[in-house]
Amino acid sequence: MDTVLSNSAVTAAGSFGTAPDVTIPAQWAAPSLYVKTLIQGDGATMTAADGMIGNYVAYDWSGKTHKLIGWSYTAGKPSLFTGTLLPGLAKALIGQKAGSRILVVMPPADGFGSAGNSKAGVGAADTLVFVVDMESVFSTAGVPGTQVSDGGGWLPTVTAPAASSSSGPVVTIPAGATAPTAFQVKTLIKGTGPAVTKGENLAVQYTGVNWRTGKVFDSSWARNAPFTAVIGEGQVIKGWDLGLVGQTVGSRVLLVIPPADGYGKTGASSAGIKGTDTLVFVVDILAAA
């Protein structure tokens, strides 16, 4: 087997923000993780509690051949890197600064493991090659800023979490109040980022409460994992599409969603939601790409 002495034989040329020219030798990869900062940025440092917006190219390196398996430069918009990253990407990106271009060569143990990824065409013994341009980083704990409103009155009251808490806001349904029949949206924290547009991929933290029971039925904060979805195109319930498009990144938003804009007449029995239930969500818009 003709194996490279070091994965440093992989190179990538080009300027930040443009698709790199990647060279991968026609040899077998070395069995070690290789990380190189090709361009040093001077922005915020990415921590283990952060997500990142950036562009990337990815190659599958199998034996003496390689193939392109993913990229974002030609899509016209960057990608969100959040939640559980591939081990090699986490090792490579955490501690790096926004504005950096990072080359990562990952053996299977730092990629998809011994199972590979058949959907992406990655075999169990294949090495992955990534070049990542880190545009910006963002906290996944929630949005900064002080709530300018807590809802209240005939709307649910939203109590902001303590500064040291990772559990998210607490939602209290007004005692004895009848759920409104029309969709309601209220901005609790006004973010300073760009307005969310239809078709963007959002990273959010959220809590969902059933008005009828007053109980939380779902929470990304409880899972300690931000949720990502394309907004405005039917990937989420209609109330989210209605209430989040047009909000600014960095905002905390209260949504009161009647059945027609939620799960409809069928409800969602697995979450204890009936077809007549009104839903309440508090959503922190962490990032959009």
166 has pLDDT over 80: no
> Measuring CA to CA, which residue among 184, 168, 200, 181 is closest to residue 254?
184
* Digit-coded pLDDT (tens) for 4-25: 889 999 999 999 999 999 999 9
Using the predicted structure, report yes or no on whether residue 117 has a pLDDT greater than 90: yes
Kindly report, residue by residue over 35-53, the tens digit of the pLDDT: 999 999 999 999 999 999 9
52-95 pLDDT per residue, tens:
999 999 999 999 999 999 999 987 789 999 988 999 999 999 99
The band of 162, judged by pLDDT with boundaries at 50, 70 and 90, is confident
The pLDDT of residue 74 is 80
What is the signed CA dihedral for 103, 109, 115, 116, rounded to 10 degrees? 10
pLDDT digits (tens, 9 = 90+) for 124-152: 999 999 999 999 999 999 999 999 999 98
Mean pLDDT (whole number) for 172-191 = 96
Instruction: Of 271, 150, 154, give the one whose Cα is nearest residue 209.
Output: 271
Indicate if the pLDDT at residue 1 is higher than 90: no
Hey, what amino acid is at 3?
A: T
Closest residue by Cα to residue 263 from 223, 229, 217: 217
Query: Which residues contact residue 273 at a Cβ distance below 8 angstroms, ignoring those fewer than 6 apart?
Result: 210, 217, 262, 263, 267, 279
Q: What does pTM read for this prediction?
A: 0.91
Q: What is the pLDDT of residue 31?
A: 95
Q: Please state, in angstroms and rounded to a whole number, the distance separating the CA atoms of residues 238 and 242.
A: 6
164 has a pLDDT exceeding 80: no
Looking at residue 230, its pLDDT comes to: 96
How is residue 82 written in tokens?
């959040």
Q: Is residue 284 over pLDDT 90? A: yes
Domains for the chain: give ranges and CATH numbers: 7-139 (3.10.50.40), 157-288 (3.10.50.40)
Residue entry with tokens 């209609």: 238
Distance of alpha carbon 84 from alpha carbon 103, whole angstroms: 19
202 and 288 Cβ atoms separated by less than 8 Å: yes
User: Each residue of 155-193: b (16+ CB within 10 Å) or e?
Assistant: bbbbebeeeeeeebbbbebbeeeebeeebbbbbbbbbeb
- DSSP 8-state class, residue 28: B
pLDDT in tens, 232-256: 999 999 999 999 999 999 999 999 9
Q: CA-to-CA distance for 166 and 194, rounded, in angstroms?
A: 25
Mean pLDDT of 259-275: 97
**How far apart (Å, rounded) are the C-alpha atoms in residues 263 and 274?**
9
Please tell me the predicted confidence (pLDDT) of residue 118: 94
